[in-house]
Amino acid sequence: MGGLLVSGAPATADAVLLFELAVGLLLILGMLVVRGGHIRLHMYIQGSMILVNIPVVLVWMVPEYLRYVVPGLPGALAQSVYWVPTLMLAAGAVAEALGIYILLVAGTTLLPERWRFRNYKAWMRTELILWWAVLLTGVATYYLWYAPS
């Protein structure tokens, strides 16, 4: 399967890229679903996407980052092959943390009232936009790392 999108890309990189694109598209489907009034289905789609992303980041992205990016830091940070994945990991951590916070507020009663937001649309639209921004830095990282320069 290696090199599905860019010849020479490892098969796992292809699989992770396709997986993340699917997660991003399903989050948009989840948004369309809640506009149709299907809140429970929305909760299941959004909730599972936020959670299923965690093992993929920890098992694939973090080890790749530690192996190929960290050795070049901070000296090589000005190069896009270093700063783009660094931006992805930093913004991705924020998007994941915000996603988990949204799930705790909108899907549980675990948090005290003073920590709960009321404007669902504003918080969740921000999360969806941030998630897609991170996804696009992931696509950029894939092409920066594997596309023949």
Binding site for ligand HEM (CB under 6 A): 27, 31, 34-35, 39, 42-43, 46-47, 50, 99, 102-103, 106-107, 120-121, 124-125, 127-128, 131
What is the distance between the terminal CA atoms of the chain, rounded to a whole angstrom?
21
Which one, 24 or 69, has the nearer CB to ligand HEM? Answer: 24
Smallest distance from the beta carbon of 83 to ligand HEM, in angstroms? Answer: 25
Which one, 90 or 97, has the nearer CB to ligand HEM? Answer: 97
Which one, 71 or 107, has the nearer CB to ligand HEM? Answer: 107
User: Is residue 77 helix, strand or coil?
Assistant: coil
Smallest distance from the beta carbon of 50 to ligand HEM, in angstroms? Answer: 5
How far CA 32 is from CA of 18, 27, 36, 37, 41, in Å, comes to 21, 9, 7, 9, 11
Which one, 35 or 114, has the nearer CB to ligand HEM? Answer: 35
Smallest distance from the beta carbon of 79 to ligand HEM, in angstroms? Answer: 31
Contact criterion met (CB below 8 Å) for 50 and 99: yes
Report the residue number whose CB is nearest to ligand HEM: 107
To which residue do tokens 């809140």 refer?
39
Residues 6+ apart with CB under 8 A from 1: 11, 14, 15
For 105, the token pair is: 């507020």
Smallest distance from the beta carbon of 124 to ligand HEM, in angstroms? Answer: 3
